[in-house]
C-alpha cells in the first residue's frame, strides 16, 4: 500500500481503519472493551485502496475523491437487499418528505427486480394512478433512457422533476405481449392516507393508502366520525389494497384500533435492540365492529403487519389476493448531518410466528379482480304483466337502488364481495 499514489482523503480514511484494526488486535482477549473492527479484513481494505487508485489513474474521465467514496458506500449498502440504500442530501430530504405524505413526482412506490423498476403500487389520486400504472408493472425505460444498469435511487431521481413537466414511461405488464407507454405529468403528491364513507347505516368503507406519521390519528378520527354519522354502525371494510406500507409504529397503532391488548408483531435481528414485541393497548375503539380487510399484491410491509395481526387473532376476514411479501424492518442511520443509510435491521413476524417475507399474507377468502356485468334475461314474466292481475299495495314498496357511495361497488368486485358478506352477517345476527 505504501507504493500507491493515494489521495489525502483516502489515505486518511485507510489510516483510521488500520488504526482501529491494530488497536483491537492488541486488546486483551478477555477484556470487555467493544471491538467492532477486530474482524475487518485488511487484505480487502488493501484491494479497495488499489481499486481506488486504479480508477483515479486510469478511468477515462477524472473523478474526485468524495464522489468515489460516495459510490463505495452506495455499492456496499445497496447490494445488500432491495430496501437498503444510501441517502445523500437530496435523497434524504425526499425520503423524509415521503413519510409526511407530501412530495413531487409520479406517486408510485417501487422496488428493483431483475434490473427493472417494479411498481409495488400507485398512490391514490396521483399522476401515476390516473395514467393507469398498476402493481406489478415493470418500468424499463424513462424518457428514452433504459433502466437496466441503474440502481433504485437513480431510477427514482429520473422520475422526480418540476411540477407540470411530463415524462414518458414504458412498462412491461404481466400477461401483455406488447409494452405499454404512458406520458405522465409530474405533480405535487399530497397523499391523504385515510378515506372513509358510509355504505349503509350499518356498514362503512375505510381506506388507508399508506402509513404516514399522522395516519393513526386520522383513522381514529374517521372511525369516530362514522360512529357519529351512524350510531348503529355494525361493520367496517378496511381497504389496504395497493398500500405499500410505511411506518411500523403506525401499523401497530392502526391494529390497536381493532385489537385489545394483543401481540401485533415481533421483530428479530442481530442486535438486541432490534428484537422487539409490539402490543396493542386497551384503547380499542372498534373492538366490536365486524371487520373485513382487503389486500392485493400491492399491499406490502406495514399493510401486511395489520392484515397478519387481524388474521392471526381471528379478529376479521382477510379478503382479496396474496400480498406483496415484504417482512423486513428498515432504519435510517445518519452518517453525518446531510447523509444517511437506510438499513434493513430486522425481519418481522406475525403474532403466530409466521414470516411473510417473500410469501405474503394469504387471504382467508381469495377474490381476484373481475368485471361483472348484468345479464339481460327476457324469458321471465312477472305477475304485474299478466292481463287482469290484482293490484298491489304501493304503500309498502321500497326500492333497492344504489346510494351514491354504493355506486363504488359496481366496478369493484372485491369490494362488492366484502360488502355482501357483511350484509349477510348483519342479517343473520
Name the residues annotated as catalytic.
301, 312, 326
Concatenated DSSP letters of 311-352: HHTT-SEEEES------EEEEEEESSSS-EEEEEEEEEE-TT
Closest CA to 335 of 92, 156, 93: 92
Closest CA to 87 of 340, 344, 345, 338: 340
Residue owning grid cell 384503547 = 283
Residue 327 near residue 251 (C-beta atoms within 8 A): no
In the structure grid, which three cell numbers stand for residue 406, read together?
354504493
In this structure, how many other beta carbons lie within 10 angstroms of the beta carbon of residue 138?
A: 18
Closest CA to 260 of 313, 301, 218: 313
Closest CA to 358 of 316, 325, 394: 325
Closest CA to 119 of 184, 212, 164, 166: 184
The one-character DSSP state at 246 is: B
Residue 300 near residue 108 (C-beta atoms within 8 A): no
Amino acid at each position: 500500500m505504501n507504493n500507491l499514489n493515494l489521495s489525502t482523503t483516502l489515505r486518511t480514511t485507510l489510516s483510521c481503519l488500520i488504526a482501529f484494526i491494530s488497536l483491537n488486535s492488541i486488546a486483551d482477549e478477555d477484556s470487555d472493551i467493544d471491538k467492532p473492527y477486530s474482524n475487518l479484513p485488511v487484505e480487502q481494505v488493501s484491494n479497495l485502496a488499489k481499486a481506488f487508485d486504479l480508477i483515479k489513474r486510469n478511468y477515462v474521465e477524472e473523478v474526485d475523491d468524495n464522489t468515489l467514496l460516495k459510490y463505495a458506500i452506495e455499492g456496499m449498502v445497496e447490494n445488500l437487499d432491495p430496501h437498503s440504500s444510501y441517502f445523500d442530501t437530496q435523497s434524504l430530504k425526499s425520503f423524509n418528505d415521503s413519510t409526511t405524505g407530501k412530495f413531487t413526482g409520479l406517486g408510485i412506490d417501487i422496488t428493483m427486480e431483475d434490473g427493472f423498476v417494479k411498481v409495488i403500487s400507485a398512490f391514490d389520486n396521483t399522476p401515476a394512478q390516473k395514467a393507469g400504472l398498476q402493481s406489478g408493472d415493470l418500468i424499463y425505460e424513462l424518457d428514452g433512457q433504459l433502466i437496466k444498469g441503474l440502481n433504485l435511487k437513480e431510477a427514482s431521481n429520473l422520475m422526480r422533476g418540476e411540477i407540470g413537466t411530463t415524462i414518458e414511461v414504458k412498462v412491461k405488464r404481466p400477461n401483455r405481449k406488447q409494452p405499454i407507454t404512458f406520458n405522465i405529468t409530474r405533480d405535487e403528491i399530497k397523499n391523504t392516507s385515510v378515506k372513509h364513507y358510509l355504505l349503509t347505516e350499518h356498514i362503512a368503507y375505510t381506506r388507508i393508502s399508506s402509513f404516514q406519521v399522522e395516519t393513526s390519528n386520522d383513522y381514529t378520527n374517521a372511525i369516530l366520525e362514522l360512529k357519529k354519522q351512524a350510531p348503529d354502525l355494525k361493520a367496517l371494510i378496511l381497504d389496504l389494497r395497493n398500500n405499500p406500507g410505511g411506518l411500523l409504529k403506525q401499523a401497530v397503532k392502526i391494529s390497536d384500533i381493532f385489537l385489545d391488548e394483543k401481540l401485533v408483531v415481533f421483530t428479530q435481528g442481530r442486535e438486541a435492540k432490534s428484537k422487539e414485541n409490539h402490543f396493542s393497548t386497551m384503547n380499542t375503539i372498534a373492538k366490536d365492529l365486524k371487520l373485513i380487510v382487503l389486500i392485493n399484491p400491492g399491499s406490502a410491509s406495514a399493510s401486511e403487519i395489520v392484515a397478519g395481526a387481524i388474521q392471526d387473532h381471528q379478529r376479521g376476514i382477510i379478503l382479496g389476493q396474496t400480498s406483496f411479501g415484504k417482512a423486513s424492518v428498515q432504519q435510517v442511520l445518519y452518517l453525518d448531518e446531510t447523509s444517511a443509510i437506510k438499513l434493513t435491521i430486522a425481519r418481522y413476524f406475525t403474532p403466530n410466528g409466521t414470516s411473510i417475507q417473500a410469501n405474503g399474507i394469504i387471504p382467508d377468502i381469495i377474490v381476484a379482480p373481475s368485471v361483472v356485468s348484468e345479464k339481460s334475461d327476457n324469458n321471465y314474466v312477472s305477475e304485474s304483466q299478466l292481463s287482469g292481475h290484482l293490484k298491489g299495495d304501493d304503500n309498502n314498496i321500497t326500492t333497492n337502488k344504489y346510494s351514491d357511495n354504493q355506486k363504488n361497488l359496481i366496478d369493484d368486485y372485491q369490494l362488492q364481495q366484502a360488502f355482501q358478506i357483511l350484509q349477510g352477517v348483519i342479517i343473520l345476527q
